[in-house]
Chains A and B, each alone.
Chain A
Amino acid sequence: MQRFLNPSVLAEISSLDLIAKIVVDGFVAGLHRSPDFGFSQEFAEYRAYTPGDDLRHVDWNVFARTERAYLKRYRGETNSLLTVLLDASNSMNYTSHKITKMDYARFAAASLFYLAIHNQRDAAGLIVFDDEVRNYIRPSTRQGQINRLLHGLDLAEPRARTDFAKPLHHFQEFLRRRGIVLMISDFYETPERIIRTIEPLRFHGNEIVLFHVLDPREIKPDLDGPAILVDLETNDHLEVTPEYARDEYPQKIQGHIAALREAAQGAGMDYFLLQTDQPLDAALREYLTIRQGRN
């Protein structure tokens, strides 16, 4: 199973549905099929009954066996609403190996959709954007929703450039119900601007998670000699020396990642860095583990 979770192997599978199933099954297998993890409100613990507690929460089965009253505690009572904001700008088309950042983002989104709909019966929706909203699939639990979402991911080909500010008001229109918002992007923007743009969504009571997708060569470029680099979004040309790429650039990108993580956490958002050479299930497990621990 682990072999199929390798991003390079997943890239050779054309069906997003199958990819999502493989990733989620692998991920669930890694969690020993624990039913206590997921997006919806779940059983948390037993607590001894104290006077004044609602008797509806007493677990009478336990009382019958032990003659002691315990309350059954839950973390939530209703289904969650999952919305994925997917950056489809041109920079997401970069890759240094078999799988592009866009593909990796699509695999991740598809896996999350599969997990939410098939495993948790949650509603899930998708917003594809670059410098504007290119596709919107309303969150739903209707029959065939997973297929609509996966089709939307299929259509999400990178183009244009990223602009978080412009499609923001559309986000606010679409995200009226409270839920979980996952933004998947390479976040080539200053952390302040990113947080300032996304922060209003938080005010609606949404739980916001930033998935920062980067290629390993974006973190640590490997240039044999001087080279002219072309910006995939702006088409700007720049002559770069290997010394700069080796010494200065890694410091700058690491500083950007650290600043974005700090700014996100400061604004009450979750931040996860996804490198396209890492297995998808590991990335998802990290996210879900952290989220479960926080709740």
Chain B
Amino acid sequence: MGFLSPWFLAGAAAVGLPLYLHLLRRHTTTPHPFSSLMFFEHRTQSSIRHRKLRYLLLLSLRLALLILLALAFANPYLKRTAVSASGDKLMLIVVDNSFSMRAGTRLADAKKQAENLLSSRAPSRRAQVAELGSQLHVLTQPVQDPASLRSAVESIQAGDARGSFGELARAVGSMEDSAHVPIEVHLFSDMQRSDMPASFAEMALPPNVSLVLHAVGNKAEPNWAVESVNAPSRVWDPKKARVTAVIAGYQTPAATRTASLVVNGKTIDSKKVNVPANGRATVEFQSLDVPYGLSRCEIQIDSGDALAADDRYLFAVERSDPQHVLFVHEARDSRSPLFFGSALASSAEASFALESVPAERVAGLDPSKYAFVVLSDAASLPSQFENDLQQYVRRGAGVLVAVGTSSAHRAKVPVFGADIMGAHSYLEDSARYLTVGEADSSYPAMAGGQGWAGVRFYYAVAVDPADSRVVAKLSDQTPLLLEKKMGEGRVLLFASGLDNLTNDFPSGPLFVPFVKQTARYLSGTQDRNGSRIVDSFLELRTAKDQAVSVEVIDPAGRRPLSIEQATTAQSFQLTDAGFYEVRLANGRHDLVGVNADRRESNLEPISDDVLALWRGAGNSNGQQAAAAGAAAESEPAKPSSIWWYAMLLVLVAALAESFVAARYLTAQAEES
């Protein structure tokens, strides 16, 4: 114990004042008049004894008051170690259980270090345990009980999520805001570079939070991984299906790896692939011979590295008969079905069979039998068929309408309903053609390729977009591609023809991906994807499928959705790697292969200077706190002021003195 302002102790000399006053008071007595002392006798000794007792209590209180006041101003302090000084600081144990922690013994090492820290923790200090994946999951409340903390650490299992230090900073910031106590974060992690957010500022911790880093496996280990697989989710002709896989090496030497295609547990093909040093190689399997129905497929490599979990990439494939597409065209138009059909067939994963029908023969056709319908410059349609098409769209289907020279004379676009304001033939202009001026590349049908500016449009029909969405415009602002929602379905309007007379689009390289994406978009198979990334969301139902039960079975065979969630959940987060079996609200069964984010496969750690910067951004006491955790006894003591307690005692003494003095004065008044 010491004093930060010891010269204030001189004030304690003021105790002489009450001593002097009390000595004087001993000789001062107020006499009481009485009629006669004839019957009284002198009694002195007892009187003085009583008076001393009463005075001593008051005197001692007054002396204590002055001494405590001098002590409080002298600012006393106690020398306490950092651990004891941070008695109110919450120790937050964060163990990284992201996918990369599966490498070697990283997770076990992290848990062991965390347990060692808990063992060296002062028993009175509160701690909390959390695991860090894509989010921070708190496993305990702030407690002192070592058993519960230890069991929480032991319960941490390796996850498949991608770690996020930005999420750690955000979650700790929220905790600090709500708890209003300083937090000392101990992070046990492999400090993977890929866990950093895009901006370092997102990792910054609040000023009241100190960060202590405990790195495990802190070195760049070589690791090969199946980085990605490109495979159709639906196959109708195995011979035409192609599977392409990218094998990546991180901090690896050049090596030859064997990639295998496994279908339903059986290896059906293997290939050798030369992976360059610290590079990527592509391997392609020419066929995907899967049985009818849903198949569990994966690409495996023989890496022999520490992180074996990324040596396989899961995907699901469904083999089925091709879906039919109704293509309605003018009888004299033979080009558009040719171009469209060829483009549709050239897509390896397209399981569509085009059925082209002249417009005059569509009466009596039931659109509901088709995956989607294309109206290619149909000059006239039977009104019944047009009504059927509108009902077909409202029930959730898709229709592509192309308006060319034949349909330009109509007042309205069939099914789409937009007013036709005129037709532009650009051949008569000096430029002779127009190109695409604006295009929304995020739109599914436009996402298949680049270079839309190179497509020449000689003829286009001007329509009133009204409440429809304009996806692409020509350079003269004429809407080229529009989408309109109708009920549960959608109608796409292409304001030019699908032949090569009104534009050179069908003969260009963009037509095939456009047709492929449009077919998937309109048929609803665009949302189907045989493989997903961990922590992505799976759409379970559409707006028309409300209150219909869905079913999800995770890779471990459990049903993660409760009964209530099964009827209400709009989506489901895929948290584990493996195959998920799903029965969607529309009754369709699906299979999804879920893989860890391959950014986790790069085990390169964050550089030391960045880590030092992060620690500094958290709290300058971070290193000191770390050392305190390791060796609390050896920590140099730091002064901790206790003047507040002295002031509290001053207040108590003042109140007691007032009480005793008031009683004494009252007694004096009564006696006088």
B588 within 8 A of A: no
Q: Closest approach, in angstroms, between the C-beta of A252 and any C-beta of chain B?
A: 4
In the complex formed, the residue of B with least CB distance to A227 is B32
A91 within 8 A of B: yes
B573 within 8 A of A: no
A64 within 8 A of B: no
**Given A225-B667, A243-B46, A249-B40: A230 and B32 within 8 A (CB)?**
yes
CB-based contact A238/B42 at 8 Å: yes
CB-based contact B39/A256 at 8 Å: yes
CB-based contact B51/A94 at 8 Å: no
One digit per residue, 1 when the CB lies within 8 angstroms of any chain B CB and 0 when it does not, for chain A 200-237 equals 00000000000000010010000111111111111011
Chain B residues with CB below 8 A from A2, complex form: none
Q: Closest approach, in angstroms, between the C-beta of B669 and any C-beta of chain A?
A: 11
**Given A224-B667, A226-B47, A243-B46: A252 and B34 within 8 A (CB)?**
no
Q: Closest approach, in angstroms, between the C-beta of B350 and any C-beta of chain A?
A: 112
One digit per residue, 1 when the CB lies within 8 angstroms of any chain B CB and 0 when it does not, for chain A 83-104 equals 0000000011110000001000
Which chain B residues in 623-672 approach chain A with CB under 8 Å? Answer: 667, 670-671
CB-based contact B32/A226 at 8 Å: no
- Alpha-carbon separation in the docked complex, A218 to B47 (Å): 21
Provide 14 A-B residue pairs closer than 8 Å at the C-beta atoms, listed in order of the A residue. Answer: A188-B38, A215-B35, A225-B671, A226-B43, A226-B46, A229-B40, A231-B35, A232-B35, A239-B44, A240-B43, A243-B43, A245-B40, A249-B40, A256-B38
Chain A residues with CB below 8 A from B43, complex form: 226, 239-241, 243-244
CB-based contact B667/A249 at 8 Å: no
CB-based contact A229/B47 at 8 Å: no
Give the residue of B37, B54, B667 whose beta carbon is less than 8 angstroms from that of A229. B37
- Alpha-carbon separation in the docked complex, A253 to B32 (Å): 19
**Given A225-B50, A226-B50, A230-B34: A238 and B40 within 8 A (CB)?**
yes
Taking beta carbons and an 8 Å cutoff, which residues of B are in contact with A?
Answer: 29-44, 46-48, 50-51, 54, 667, 670-671
CB-based contact B29/A228 at 8 Å: yes
Chain A residues with CB below 8 A from B44, complex form: 239
- Alpha-carbon separation in the docked complex, A223 to B34 (Å): 12
A17 within 8 A of B: no
A186 within 8 A of B: yes
Main secondary structure of the interface of A (DSSP, over half): mixed
Given contacts A91-B35, A218-B35, 4 further A-B contacts (CB under 8 A): A186-B35, A215-B35, A238-B37, A239-B43
A248 within 8 A of B: yes
CB-based contact B32/A91 at 8 Å: no
- Alpha-carbon separation in the docked complex, A231 to B39 (Å): 11
- Alpha-carbon separation in the docked complex, A224 to B32 (Å): 12
- Alpha-carbon separation in the docked complex, A215 to B667 (Å): 22
In the complex formed, the residue of A with least CB distance to B38 is A188
CB-based contact B47/A231 at 8 Å: no
Give the residue of A94, A228, A243 whose beta carbon is less than 8 angstroms from that of B35. A94
Q: Closest approach, in angstroms, between the C-beta of A38 and any C-beta of chain B?
A: 34
Q: Closest approach, in angstroms, between the C-beta of A97 and any C-beta of chain B?
A: 14
- Alpha-carbon separation in the docked complex, A232 to B36 (Å): 6
**Given A224-B671, A229-B31, A244-B41: A91 and B46 within 8 A (CB)?**
no
One digit per residue, 1 when the CB lies within 8 angstroms of any chain B CB and 0 when it does not, for chain A 122-145 equals 000000000000000000000000
In the complex formed, the residue of B with least CB distance to A244 is B43
- Alpha-carbon separation in the docked complex, A143 to B483 (Å): 135
Chain A residues with CB below 8 A from B48, complex form: 226
CB-based contact A94/B33 at 8 Å: yes
- Alpha-carbon separation in the docked complex, A223 to B667 (Å): 10
Q: Closest approach, in angstroms, between the C-beta of A229 and any C-beta of chain B?
A: 4
- Alpha-carbon separation in the docked complex, A223 to B50 (Å): 13
Q: Closest approach, in angstroms, between the C-beta of B14 and any C-beta of chain A?
A: 29
Give the residue of B32, B39, B54 whose beta carbon is less than 8 angstroms from that of A228. B32
CB-based contact B34/A229 at 8 Å: yes
**Given A224-B670, A224-B671, A226-B47: A252 and B39 within 8 A (CB)?**
yes
Looking at chain A, what size class is its interface with the partner chain? Answer: 35 or more
The 6 residue pairs across chains A and B that have the minimum distance between CB atoms? A226-B47, A94-B35, A241-B43, A252-B39, A91-B35, A188-B36
- Alpha-carbon separation in the docked complex, A226 to B49 (Å): 10
Chain B residues with CB below 8 A from A91, complex form: 35-36
CB-based contact B51/A226 at 8 Å: yes
Q: Closest approach, in angstroms, between the C-beta of B403 and any C-beta of chain A?
A: 115
Q: Closest approach, in angstroms, between the C-beta of A171 and any C-beta of chain B?
A: 22
Q: Closest approach, in angstroms, between the C-beta of A83 and any C-beta of chain B?
A: 25
CB-based contact A227/B671 at 8 Å: yes
Q: Closest approach, in angstroms, between the C-beta of A136 and any C-beta of chain B?
A: 25
In the complex formed, the residue of B with least CB distance to A222 is B670
CB-based contact A239/B35 at 8 Å: no
CB-based contact A101/B35 at 8 Å: yes
Chain A residues with CB below 8 A from B671, complex form: 223-225, 227
Give the residue of B33, B36, B46, B667 whose beta carbon is less than 8 angstroms from that of A241. B46
CB-based contact B36/A230 at 8 Å: no
Chain B residues with CB below 8 A from A93, complex form: 35
Chain A residues with CB below 8 A from B54, complex form: 225
In the complex formed, the residue of B with least CB distance to A94 is B35
- Alpha-carbon separation in the docked complex, A223 to B48 (Å): 15
- Alpha-carbon separation in the docked complex, A215 to B33 (Å): 13
CB-based contact A229/B50 at 8 Å: no
Chain B residues with CB below 8 A from A101, complex form: 35
- Alpha-carbon separation in the docked complex, A245 to B41 (Å): 9
Q: Closest approach, in angstroms, between the C-beta of B39 and any C-beta of chain A?
A: 4
Q: Closest approach, in angstroms, between the C-beta of B58 and any C-beta of chain A?
A: 14
CB-based contact B39/A229 at 8 Å: no
Chain B residues with CB below 8 A from A225, complex form: 47, 50-51, 54, 667, 671
- Alpha-carbon separation in the docked complex, A229 to B41 (Å): 11
Give the residue of B29, B37, B667 whose beta carbon is less than 8 angstroms from that of A231. B37
CB-based contact B31/A232 at 8 Å: no
CB-based contact A237/B40 at 8 Å: no
Which chain A residues in 145-195 approach chain B with CB under 8 Å? Answer: 186, 188
- Alpha-carbon separation in the docked complex, A245 to B37 (Å): 11
Chain A residues with CB below 8 A from B35, complex form: 91-94, 101, 186, 188, 215, 218, 231-233
- Alpha-carbon separation in the docked complex, A239 to B50 (Å): 13
**Given A225-B50, A239-B44: A230 and B39 within 8 A (CB)?**
no
- Alpha-carbon separation in the docked complex, A244 to B37 (Å): 13
Chain B residues with CB below 8 A from A218, complex form: 34-35
In the complex formed, the residue of A with least CB distance to B37 is A231
CB-based contact A231/B36 at 8 Å: yes
- Alpha-carbon separation in the docked complex, A75 to B17 (Å): 78
Chain B residues with CB below 8 A from A245, complex form: 40
One digit per residue, 1 when the CB lies within 8 angstroms of any chain B CB and 0 when it does not, for chain A 60-83 equals 000000000000000000000000
In the complex formed, the residue of A with least CB distance to B45 is A241
Q: Closest approach, in angstroms, between the C-beta of B57 and any C-beta of chain A?
A: 14
CB-based contact B36/A240 at 8 Å: no
- Alpha-carbon separation in the docked complex, A172 to B54 (Å): 56
- Alpha-carbon separation in the docked complex, A51 to B657 (Å): 93
CB-based contact A237/B34 at 8 Å: no
Which chain A residues in 237-287 approach chain B with CB under 8 Å? Answer: 237-241, 243-245, 248-249, 252-253, 256
B42, B47, B670 — most chain A CB neighbours (10 Å): B47
- Alpha-carbon separation in the docked complex, A228 to B44 (Å): 10
A94, A226, A249, A252 — most chain B CB neighbours (10 Å): A226
- Alpha-carbon separation in the docked complex, A56 to B39 (Å): 59
- Alpha-carbon separation in the docked complex, A149 to B38 (Å): 32
Chain B residues with CB below 8 A from A188, complex form: 35-36, 38
Chain A residues with CB below 8 A from B50, complex form: 225-226
Chain B residues with CB below 8 A from A234, complex form: 37
Chain B residues with CB below 8 A from A240, complex form: 40-43, 47
CB-based contact A239/B37 at 8 Å: no
- Alpha-carbon separation in the docked complex, A227 to B30 (Å): 8
- Alpha-carbon separation in the docked complex, A94 to B30 (Å): 17
**Given A94-B34, A230-B31, A237-B31: A253 and B39 within 8 A (CB)?**
yes
Give the residue of A94, A239, A249, A253 whose beta carbon is less than 8 angstroms from that of B47. A239
Chain B residues with CB below 8 A from A236, complex form: 37
- Alpha-carbon separation in the docked complex, A230 to B48 (Å): 18
